[in-house]
Chains A and B, each alone.
Chain A
Amino acid sequence: MALNSNIPDGPIEKKWENHKFKMKLVNPANRRKHTVIVVGTGLAGGAAAASMGEMGYKVKNFCIQDSARRAHSIAAQGGINAAKNYPNDGDSVYRLFYDTVKGGDFRSREANVYRLAENSNLIIDHCVAQGVPFAREYGGLLTNRSFGGAQVSRTFYARGQTGQQLLLGAYSALMRQVNAGTVEMFSRHEMLDLIIVNGRARGIITRDLISGEVQKHLADVVVLCTGGYGNVYYLSTNAMNSNVTAAWRCHRKGAYFANPCFTQIHPTCIPVSGDHQSKLTLMSESLRNDGRVWVPKEKGDKRAPRDIPESERDYYLERIYPSFGNLVPRDVASRQAKFRVDEGRGVGKTGIAVYLDFADAIKRQGEDKISEKYGNLFQMYEKITGENPYKTPMRIYPAVHYTMGGLWVDYNLMSNVEGLFVGGEANFSDHGANRLGASALMQGLSDGYFILPYTVGNYIGSTDLDKVSEDMPEVNEAYQQSKERLDRLIGMKGTKTVDEFHKELGHIMWENVGMSRNKAGLENAISRIPELRKKFYQDVKLTGSANYVNSELEKAGRVADFLELGELMARDALNREESCGGHFREEHQTPENEAKRDDDNFCYVAAWEYGEKGHVLHKEDLSFENVKLATRSYK
């Protein structure tokens, strides 16, 4: 199938406006006759469900958590970008667009990114109207801070809990619609499969995570906003229950998976402390506004950080990138930290960390000011490590944080399966090979509030949707397959737990498909993951039943999918013989260890089609008409 991105004609500033005008509309009185399934209640899903509920569609909204408010968007800390130019430092929609395309290392779709930048201002307006308590100046106006990869202050924030506040805004809008009867909530429900009838997505199969009941839900449109797949690495900053299952099940039903190897390793996370570790905790990138990153100049220097004199410290980001300094984009900062640790200059008990030091900022601004800006982050750090970051520098190290790849979508955010829309982190569209800080919240809300409600309506308005019923063979087949899969898993009485397999997969992924990748390592992963998968289906051990709450069974289903995804990620990374953004191939680097892109051969989106005999690659060529392809430099 040829990939058609459906980018509208016209100059980039006019594309979305023209497109909106050309869209088919659905008469308000007819909307309640159309059922829209939204899977996920994070920023994208919650916003989409609420907005479509407001418009009058009959929305069914699903989430695996016990409440929509707990979707993992809640954990985003630093902020949300918008091109408001309130600080008068020269920002504009075009600059935000430019920075995002450049930050993504020229592997995103220009038209999508421009639309994102346009919507950014609407998001701030809408969220303020909803009562999101953004940080303000004494004069009562909104304030901004700067974030990595930009030289303007365009990040709006609510202390270190911006994601929480934005999500609670979307959640309140959603709850209003639940109260109004337009949205029906299904919390503690997990999507197990997509129902396709006549080539169109017409519903989903779910499992009620309490009763264990497998259910059929039919609809005219399915919108997937199910987040990223960072947990394929076992250790990541994602929530414990974040998973790829919904997206992967759609992929197996024909939806293409795009750029799976583009993962973001966030530079400022609390380092691993031992084998027992179940997840990693992010320290917001905003900390790099005031914190200085350094390691000792001497290899293996075991002195306490405060005993190392200024002259024996290497503030390596400031040294290598004088113009951006500590605020270089995430991929660059992460890689440099890895280089320092690989050189043997890492710090802390394990030697796998670098310092993030606030001593100067505290001296300059006072402890009160720092505490006002980052108080909750400092507190969180102290709880986890038992060290006080006001007194001693934080130890940080990169960790898997976000996945730029995801299901392939066109300009309308519809996948190649008609009627299946994908929003938020679950799609691939806006961040290219690297996401800039404070852009994920922007994208989730842009998709949810301001894109999907239009494009879903356009689809419904322009498509002849036949009647579907629960007893159709396609529906029953999906239902049966899901049941059989559960039965197979619950019947596994091997010797190793699901977590043991997950950990082993994570280890393979981190070692070979992590911060830097090479041919041998990727081939190693490609041969080891299928073996591990085979072992999983022979030797995994489950207890309990499928007919009631069983978190081990839930995990097993998710890990089974990760075991397939991991291999595809390695294949994609092996195929992409270039370095770009978060994807760093050791074979392709400049003499200064910077990523070396190959625009002649790899300026495309790699969209993978699932096949029983192996994945098939489809390419969507990317053209850059507005931002000139250039080597990314933050020096």
Chain B
Amino acid sequence: MKMNLKIWRQKNANDKGHFFNYQAENVSEDMSFLEMLDVVNQDLVKQGEEAIEFDHDCREGICGACSMVINGNAHGPERSTTTCQLHMRSFKDGDTITIEPFRAKAFPVIKDLKVDRTGLEKVIEAGGYISVNTGNAPDAHSIIIPKEDADLAFVAAACIGCGACVAACQNSSAMLFTSAKISHMAHLPQGQAERQRRVLSMVQKMDELGFGNCTNTGACEMACPKDISLENIALMNRDFMKASLKHR
């Protein structure tokens, strides 16, 4: 297959950035999307040009490093799929593919398709944990957790922190990301002690960092490669109101 690519190139956060056209020849449908970009990059380097920068690491859909928007879709057109798991069989010969970085004020572009997602880190820092020092734990079986609760916690904890929710949201809201962590811990008995403090400080941090507000469009849920549900946001809203009313 042959692909026409329109790729966003930007030197750094202050540069304006533009689309450039490239062609990828001999694309096999078994190639992953990133392998197709690898081929383009090899050609660019051979021609003496700088390679297109993009974040990627595990290429198994779990590390959450990849951060591009393909034809207007965070992580490409397939649901429940990260960019690295997207394969060229999802495209047709001769297609034009537009590739951009995740766009949000809170995610400044570092170079080309690489963005700075430190904001998400700061949100976790504000309270995305259960405060337990190493060596303090009781026996694992002293905490009994109904399977249903453990499963709900797991489903929320499956978030890979890629930031596609922020990228897809027209408001660049980080609610899905933040709520996934809050919900993970809210479903577990271990998480109860800090439940209120956690939601208050994480939401406050999220607001400070310039992420937008939630308008319930659901774009985040649709873009999420791990199917994190809007239910988590509802839980966060509920917990937040409860906590702010009780707060002394």
Physical contact A–B (CB less than 8 Å): yes
**A residues neighboring B (CB under 8 Å):** 47, 50-51, 54, 65-70, 72, 74-75, 84, 86, 122, 124-131, 133-142, 158-159, 161, 164-165, 168, 171-173, 175-176, 178-179, 185, 187, 210, 239-241, 273-274, 276-279, 281-282, 379-380, 383-384, 386, 449-450, 453, 495, 497, 499-500, 541-544, 548-552
Interface assignment of B89: CB less than 8 Å from any CB of chain A: yes
Give the docked Cα–Cα distance between A240 and B147 (Å): 36
| A67-B121, A128-B190, A140-B147 known; A277+B35 contact, CB < 8 A | yes
Give 12 pairs: A residue, B residue, CB < 8 Å, sorted on A: A47-B134, A70-B57, A72-B63, A74-B160, A126-B132, A133-B184, A171-B124, A173-B132, A187-B118, A239-B59, A449-B134, A543-B49
DSSP majority for the B interface? Answer: loop
Beta-carbon contact of A172 and B128 below 8 Å? yes
A-B contact count (CB 8 A): 222
Beta-carbon contact of A136 and B137 below 8 Å? no
Beta-carbon contact of B38 and A86 below 8 Å? no
> Closest residue of chain A to B190, judged by CB?
A131
Give the docked Cα–Cα distance between A125 and B138 (Å): 6
> Closest residue of chain B to A67, judged by CB?
B121
| B133-162 CB contacts (< 8 Å) to partner A | 133-141, 143-147, 150-151, 153-154, 157-158, 160-161
| A140-B144, A552-B45 known; A131+B130 contact, CB < 8 A | yes
| A133-B153, A497-B46 known; A178+B125 contact, CB < 8 A | yes
> Closest residue of chain A to B145, judged by CB?
A140
Residues of B contacting A178 in the complex (Cβ-Cβ under 8 angstroms): 125
> Closest residue of chain B to A76, judged by CB?
B62
Beta-carbon contact of A274 and B28 below 8 Å? yes
Residues of A contacting B59 in the complex (Cβ-Cβ under 8 angstroms): 239-240, 278-279, 281
Beta-carbon contact of A240 and B130 below 8 Å? no
Q: How many residues of B contact A (CB 8 A)?
A: 81
| A125-B139, A176-B129, A386-B89 known; A75+B51 contact, CB < 8 A | no
Beta-carbon contact of B111 and A548 below 8 Å? yes
| A126-B134, A130-B130, A131-B188 known; A549+B147 contact, CB < 8 A | no
A86, A161, A175 interface centre (most CB from chain B within 10 Å): A175
> Closest residue of chain B to A163, judged by CB?
B62
CB B57 to nearest CB in A, in angstroms, measures 4
Give the docked Cα–Cα distance between A175 and B36 (Å): 35
Q: Give the residue of A84, A124, A386, A500 whose beta carbon is less than 8 angstroms from that of B87.
A: A386
Beta-carbon contact of B128 and A380 below 8 Å? no
Interface assignment of B32: CB less than 8 Å from any CB of chain A: yes
| A239-B57, A383-B87, A548-B111 known; A130+B190 contact, CB < 8 A | yes
Beta-carbon contact of A552 and B51 below 8 Å? yes
| A67-B121, A69-B64, A159-B154 known; A141+B144 contact, CB < 8 A | yes
Give the docked Cα–Cα distance between A552 and B55 (Å): 13
Give the docked Cα–Cα distance between A138 and B147 (Å): 5
Residues of A contacting B60 in the complex (Cβ-Cβ under 8 angstroms): 75, 281-282, 380
Interface assignment of B61: CB less than 8 Å from any CB of chain A: yes
Interface assignment of B81: CB less than 8 Å from any CB of chain A: yes
Q: Across chains A and B, which 7 residue pairs bring their CB atoms closest together, nearest first?
A: A172-B129, A140-B144, A129-B137, A133-B154, A125-B137, A128-B140, A51-B134
Interface assignment of B126: CB less than 8 Å from any CB of chain A: yes
CB A273 to nearest CB in B, in angstroms, measures 4
Q: Give the residue of A70, A273, A495, A548 whose beta carbon is less than 8 angstroms from that of B12.
A: A548
Residues of A contacting B168 in the complex (Cβ-Cβ under 8 angstroms): none
Beta-carbon contact of A133 and B157 below 8 Å? yes
Residues of B contacting A66 in the complex (Cβ-Cβ under 8 angstroms): 55, 65, 116-118
Q: Give the residue of A131, A141, A497, A549 whose beta carbon is less than 8 angstroms from that of B53.
A: A549
Give the docked Cα–Cα distance between A452 and B48 (Å): 46
Interface assignment of B131: CB less than 8 Å from any CB of chain A: yes
Residues of B contacting A276 in the complex (Cβ-Cβ under 8 angstroms): 28, 30-31, 35-36, 38-39
Interface assignment of B34: CB less than 8 Å from any CB of chain A: yes
Residues of B contacting A384 in the complex (Cβ-Cβ under 8 angstroms): 32, 85, 87
Residues of B contacting A84 in the complex (Cβ-Cβ under 8 angstroms): 140
Give the docked Cα–Cα distance between A75 and B58 (Å): 7
| B45-90 CB contacts (< 8 Å) to partner A | 45-46, 48-51, 53, 55-65, 80-81, 85-87, 89
Give the docked Cα–Cα distance between A394 and B55 (Å): 30
Beta-carbon contact of A175 and B150 below 8 Å? no
Beta-carbon contact of B185 and A131 below 8 Å? yes
Give the docked Cα–Cα distance between A386 and B81 (Å): 13
Interface assignment of B228: CB less than 8 Å from any CB of chain A: no
> Closest residue of chain B to A552, judged by CB?
B51
Residues of A contacting B116 in the complex (Cβ-Cβ under 8 angstroms): 66
Residues of B contacting A499 in the complex (Cβ-Cβ under 8 angstroms): 38, 42
CB A587 to nearest CB in B, in angstroms, measures 36
